[in-house]
Amino acid sequence: MKILVIGSGGREHALAWKLKQSPGVERIFCTPGNAGTAQIAENVAIPATDLPALARFAKENNVDLTVVGPDDPLAAGIVDLFNSEGLRVFGPSKSAARIESSKIFAKELMRAQKIPTAKASTFSDSDEALRYCEQLQFPVVIKADGLALGKGVIVAPDAATARSTINSMMNEGRFGDAGRRIVIEEFLRGSECSLHALVDGKDYRLLETARDHKRVFDGDCGPNTGGMGAFSPANNWNRQLEDQFDKKIMQPLLRGLREEGIIFRGLLYPGLMITETGAHVVEFNCRFGDPETQAILPRLRSDLLPLLEATIDGKIDNYIIEWDERVAVTVVLASGGYPGKYETGRPISGLDDAAKLKDVQVFHAGTRSANGEIVTAGGRVLAVTALGSTIEGARTRAYEAVSAIHFEGCHYRRDIALGAVSG
Ligand code: AMP
Ligand code: GLY
């Protein structure tokens, strides 16, 4: 089979790496890919958002299955376009992708189905939002309705921050149209957990759990990023939470989507906050997490390709997914300045030495080849995953690999999965 993976991050490198191991796969294309995917697949310079060009490429090259990595092409309707052209594709339709692309849509669905989530109000008028803030207890969380590269969520500790956030989102267009409407919600206290479910329209199968580290600096300090590291399995998850997750979150969600006439087929990634009263939905994503995928897929024993196909065909309930019992720890190496402004084009050394270490996988994210060298090309540059029979072991190995890699300005968190070791 010929596979096309759309996207250029660490998640897409991990997807291509796993699919490459499938006996059914002869050839993989990545659009646009990175220097890591170039080593295992064929990169083609089509941006992930150029939908017509992607469909043309898939047709002309007889691609059998396209796997969509990022959220933007899903929100723009790539799956509807591919289906209308008779092309097979993994991912939700545009209407199903609204679960991620509109936080207001997701909130309304959760409210209608009584899915546990933070209490929230939505606003399309900034004066109303500002007035509402006068009577709130802080902190509150302010969210742009639409997609904002993971940066559209602000925790406001006080009224002054809330006011300036509302003004910048709604009046100054900080996130463009994505921030014209906002959600203001209760701040949930607890620990986060990332769930990944292959949803085939009616049934679902959970992948192993993971936890992400969203803040840029050690000790969960500094601004939110796309994710600075992850580990799998999550240490705050258990059978009881899984039962509750099925009854109070997944079943009502699938019912709610059905009632709206929406069929979700693809990967659903609910971001959860585990509070004293159980699991609450922080957000729904309609694609694999990044960097969670880089921690989860190295633990997947089963072939990924038939699982993706069964999801598309509505047959996921026929499958049992097998896992490596070991723990995975993933450390993200970022460019100096990320998640703010950063420079690119810095040569990266030590990649081969890191990759030689046992049970280590170096996934590329923001990298490209230039004059025979691999150089930085994005904010999150690499995601280094190590497997170990204990978290300590996986951490030690991951950081050993990280310390072999160098580029100017490189920064990474030293405490990935550390909380999981102590408690
Ligand atoms: P989201 O894009 O909605 O996942 O939000 C990004 C991050 O902001 C989450 O992963 C949480 O760390 C934090 N966050 C979002 N909503 C809340 C909330 N209601 N309470 C506490 N933290 C939140
Ligand atoms: N790890 C966060 C995300 O993929 O949205």
- pLDDT tens column, 287-297: 999 999 999 99
Tell the residue nearest (CA) to atom 5 of ligand 2.
289
pTM given for the model: 0.96
Residue 419 has pLDDT above 80, yes or no: no
Share of the chain above pLDDT 70, in %: 99
Q: Where are the domains of the chain?
A: 2-91, 119-186, 191-318, 327-422
Pick from 71, 195, 232, 285 the residue to mutate for probing ligand 2's pocket: most ligand atoms within 8 Å of its CB: 285
Nearby residues of 345 by Cβ (< 8 Å), 6 or more positions away: 370, 375, 376, 377
Give the span between the Cα atoms of 244 and 253, in whole angstroms: 13
Query: Could you tell me which CATH number the domain at 2-91 has?
Result: 3.40.50.20
- pLDDT tens column, 33-47: 999 999 999 999 999
Nearby residues of 173 by Cβ (< 8 Å), 6 or more positions away: 179, 180
- pLDDT tens column, 241-257: 999 999 999 999 999 99
Residue 421 has pLDDT above 70, yes or no: no
Give the span between the Cα atoms of 190 and 192, in whole angstroms: 7
- 230 falls in which pLDDT band (50, 70, 90)? very high
Residue 307 has pLDDT above 90, yes or no: yes
**197 near 204, Cβ under 8 Å?**
yes
Ligand 1 pocket, CB under 6 A: 118, 141, 143, 153, 185-188, 192, 214, 224, 271, 282-283
Pick the CATH number of 327-422 from 3.40.50.300, 3.90.600.10, 3.60.150.10, 3.20.20.70: 3.90.600.10
- pLDDT tens column, 208-226: 999 999 999 999 999 889 9
Alpha helices in 289-390, H assignment, sequence order: 292-296, 304-313, 351-356
Tell me whether strands 367-370 and 2-7 are parallel, antiparallel or unpaired.
Answer: unpaired
Give the span between the Cα atoms of 281 and 115, in whole angstroms: 8
Cα torsion 98, 104, 109, 113: sign:
positive
Residue 149 tokens, joined: 């590269």
- pLDDT tens column, 37-77: 999 999 999 999 999 999 999 999 999 999 999 999 999 99
- Which CATH topology does 119-186 take? Dna Ligase; domain 1 (3.30.1490)
Residue 284 tokens, joined: 């729904």
Nearby residues of 271 by Cβ (< 8 Å), 6 or more positions away: 192, 194, 195, 281, 282, 283, 284, 285
- pLDDT tens column, 104-156: 999 999 999 999 999 999 999 999 999 998 888 999 999 999 988 777 889 99
Give the span between the Cα atoms of 110 and 263, in whole angstroms: 16
Residue 82 has pLDDT above 80, yes or no: yes
Distance 399 CA to ligand 1 centre (A): 27
Distance 72 CA to ligand 2 centre (A): 13
**100 near 118, Cβ under 8 Å?**
no
- Which CATH topology does 191-318 take? D-amino Acid Aminotransferase; Chain A, domain 1 (3.30.470)
Q: Which long-range contacts (CB under 8 A, 24 or more apart) does 38-47 make?
A: 38/369, 40/16, 41/5, 41/16
Residue 139 preceded by cis peptide, ω within 30:
yes
Pick from 159, 6, 172: nearest CA to 90: 6
- pLDDT tens column, 164-205: 999 999 999 888 888 899 999 999 999 999 999 999 999 999
Tell the residue nearest (CA) to atom 12 of ligand 1.
214
Pick from 315, 356, 359, 323: nearest CA to 199: 315
